[in-house]
Structure 1
């Protein structure tokens, strides 16, 4: 894929960082970003009435699935060379169009649900704040393509810190969640325009540092090309939408069978897995470019070697989490939450088992996307969701919260097994293609 024309752009020649260095940068960036999300909710709860916090939570619940679908995982598609004729500007232009469409869909939903003007404005402002983030994500794709993971991490850190400061200042002065979210949107916009789009950040040496004067960093609109990119990436949008459902199905059955309190206990204990998940996402993002390049070049030995190491790490993270939760789960839950959560410390080891299987499945998901195996992931995720739904329906009324954990474990096993099958078949097909090309006519 010609990401930029060689004549229009010169990339500063830097030795690519090691996988360990990339992971370190991404882990720190993702950790601070995740911490910023947590602090945002905590500070809102302290600064405004619960009703306003509820408006913000409702905005997230409405905006997140829509944006996740319309994002189409263009970052992964760009990096994995999925469309040979598209340059960076085409992806940026498409992201601008899909983000605008997402905001229109969000507005339409607020009207269908008959939200009042104040709630509609809050929800739309959440959409704007998230929309700015999606534009940064495309610039992250270009940075990741050129192994500039440190710049991505610096952007995440700056964006998180400035967003929290803006939220606190705007909310404290106005006592309004709307102005607090507007402050977050403004902070994200400042980082986008001043850092993410900057020529120095992007490694440009032959262009002005200002994005508006640098052709490779500006959007392009060629609807014939973008229609093809859309068609290629649409399955990944569906996959992300299905992934959203995976996290909400257990809560639905728990609420129906056990009530709101049990939903809160289950959600809080499940947050412990997010620590391992943060490491998995950081590792996957750091290794993704290498996976995509080795697969595209037909260097399957490197592809499988790297993927095998990731799977071993995923298993190790899960086993360590299970061991720690077995030895000190009650103490951890008491310290992090409250003593009443520690009463269900029996859930934690099983949650970590399900988490370990999920970590391995996530790494295989990075592998499938790197190998351009998009459409099979739809059926795979649908099968996982179906298994989760059926096992929740059967186990939650009988076994309560432990039944929900077992249902999650079954679904992740289905995901892991299916991912292995899809990858093996995809690699076999790739091997045949390279063999046929190598044979003399």
Structure 2
């Protein structure tokens, strides 16, 4: 009986280059600049949106918004199947744009149904339930734009994605702040957010996303290809969903043990201390296509070097963030959000440490995605969630904002160490298996499996 390599053997589809050329856009440095600018503007506007809610509304409004994110984000991460990452790293061009588009359309009703079910099970107050549902609908629209962004990333047209993010950020803060100021209702503000994202999708992302692609319709639905995409993306979707649960669970624990107002404070601290996420996202999104190409060429040495350089960049950013929060964190909270949001310096440091762990391990996670090591993500994040839920249950009667932040940092430390070990093992196993026959398409992959049988 042969020994199966538990990580690299998961890559069955899309892992070898084909003759399909990847279109090229502006230079890598220019594309990275656009992505960085777009992510920074979007993140600044997201932060500004939360500040606007705290200033125009109340701590309860901030808490309702945080609960909506905590419920909606994991659902859409699960059903996203990480199609954007698969598109961007699909160096072989094994799937067409229409395959991704039609599958995304098919998952949207399921996502909306899950969010409504979660609201009914949780028995939220009517106002909070309305905010969660409205935000969930907005995320459904965002999911459509996401597929268009994946096509641009694969074609290295990063300037289009960066522009979309910048417009999205400005439109988001404007819609939420103005609507909340006029109506005093967070539900209407969340609905206006969905309206802004719908306009952006319809007039920009949809039109630009279809450039060079035939307009997809369900008439071209291919069950076999869609099922192959589901099998490839489902483990990735589960993995990123579990990560979203890890990030969201402290908010839910605080809401359960304390109050919606405390969730607002915790969410505000998280938003401030995780300010480096846009930079890491921009670098990660810009490097996905390169990581996919290196893996398809089996250039393991360069794949390792690039992953290490990105990890060192993340570590440097994390250390700088820790120093800044230690010196100015509490002052920044009270100045930006108000006196009611200060007084938790220890929690801010733990949250910053958690962010630093995300920064320096993003490259390993992206590399494993490019290598199609989807089940690795699921195993690591499942173990992390189980440990976090167990610890949260044990701390439920003594939970504070500080212990919630410590719980998050400890969980992400475990995740980071296991990701690093998995990446090293996967690249070592791949180095010893370079003589594998190339697989250039799902059809050829299926033929190879039949021949092997």
C-alpha distance 411-43 of structure 1, shift in aligned 2 (>3 A): closer
Separation in 2, partners of 1:361, 1:247? 15
Separation in 2, partners of 1:106, 1:123? 8
Separation in 1, partners of 2:42, 2:103? 26
C-alpha distance 118-393 of structure 1, shift in aligned 2 (>3 A): closer
C-alpha distance 249-331 of structure 1, shift in aligned 2 (>3 A): same
Separation in 1, partners of 2:58, 2:336? 24
Distance apart, 1:133 and its partner CA? 1.0
**What are the equivalent positions in structure 2 for 1:106-255 lying under 5 Å apart?**
106-110=115-119, 123-167=132-176, 180-199=189-208, 204=212, 215=214, 220-251=220-251
The answer for unaligned runs of 5 or more in structure 2 is 1-13, 439-453
Q: Which residue of 2 aligns with 1:359?
A: 359
Matched, 1:17 2:17: no
State the SS of the aligned residue for 1:86.
coil
Tell me if the contact between 2:42 and 2:166 (Cα under 8 Å) persists in the aligned partners. yes
Distance apart, 1:354 and its partner CA? 3.2
Compare 259-268 and 71-80 and name the one that shifted more. Answer: 259-268
How many pairs align? 422
Deviations 1:317-365 (A, max 9, x none): 1111222233334433333344565533244344333332232222211
Q: Which residue of 2 aligns with 1:270?
A: 270
State the SS of the aligned residue for 1:317.
helix
C-alpha distance 57-339 of structure 1, shift in aligned 2 (>3 A): closer
Separation in 1, partners of 2:108, 2:398? 43
Distance apart, 1:366 and its partner CA? 1.2
Deviations 1:111-170 (A, max 9, x none): 666789988766544333221111010000000001111110111122232344445566
Tell me if the contact between 1:361 and 1:419 (Cα under 8 Å) persists in the aligned partners. yes
State the SS of the aligned residue for 1:275.
coil
Distance apart, 1:382 and its partner CA? 1.5
Tell me if the contact between 1:74 and 1:138 (Cα under 8 Å) persists in the aligned partners. yes
Q: Which residue of 2 aligns with 1:298?
A: 298
C-alpha distance 114-398 of structure 1, shift in aligned 2 (>3 A): closer
Q: Which residue of 2 aligns with 1:307?
A: 307
Distance apart, 1:96 and its partner CA? 0.5
Distance apart, 1:237 and its partner CA? 1.7
Q: Which residue of 2 aligns with 1:285?
A: 285
Q: Which residue of 2 aligns with 1:374?
A: 374
Deviations 1:229-263 (A, max 9, x none): 11111112211221222123334555676777765
Separation in 1, partners of 2:258, 2:58? 28
Compare 360-369 and 133-142 and name the one that shifted more. Answer: 360-369
Tell me if the contact between 2:69 and 2:135 (Cα under 8 Å) persists in the aligned partners. yes
Q: Which residue of 2 aligns with 1:209?
A: none
Deviations 1:285-304 (A, max 9, x none): 11111111111111122211
Tell me if the contact between 2:76 and 2:111 (Cα under 8 Å) persists in the aligned partners. yes
Distance apart, 1:54 and its partner CA? 7.1
Tell me if the contact between 1:280 and 1:363 (Cα under 8 Å) persists in the aligned partners. no
Distance apart, 1:431 and its partner CA? 2.0
Separation in 1, partners of 2:377, 2:224? 26
Counterpart among 25, 29, 40 of residue 31 in structure 1: 40
Separation in 1, partners of 2:94, 2:23? 23
Q: Which residue of 1 aligns with 2:77?
A: 68
C-alpha distance 269-245 of structure 1, shift in aligned 2 (>3 A): same
State the SS of the aligned residue for 2:163.
helix
**What are the equivalent positions in structure 2 for 1:54-93 lying under 5 Å apart?**
59-81=68-90, 85-93=94-102
Separation in 2, partners of 1:78, 1:341? 41
Tell me if the contact between 1:322 and 1:350 (Cα under 8 Å) persists in the aligned partners. no
C-alpha distance 161-252 of structure 1, shift in aligned 2 (>3 A): closer
Tell me if the contact between 1:361 and 1:412 (Cα under 8 Å) persists in the aligned partners. no
Q: Which residue of 1 aligns with 2:317?
A: 317
State the SS of the aligned residue for 2:221.
coil
Question: TM-score, structure 1 length as denominator?
Answer: 0.80
Q: Which residue of 2 aligns with 1:420?
A: 420
Separation in 1, partners of 2:393, 2:256? 10
State the SS of the aligned residue for 2:325.
helix
Compare 354-363 and 260-269 and name the one that shifted more. Answer: 260-269
Deviations 1:367-402 (A, max 9, x none): 111111101111101122233344556678789554
Q: Which residue of 2 aligns with 1:431?
A: 431
Separation in 1, partners of 2:436, 2:63? 59
Q: CA RMSD in A?
A: 3.8
State the SS of the aligned residue for 1:186.
helix
C-alpha distance 408-28 of structure 1, shift in aligned 2 (>3 A): same
The answer for unaligned runs of 5 or more in structure 1 is 205-213
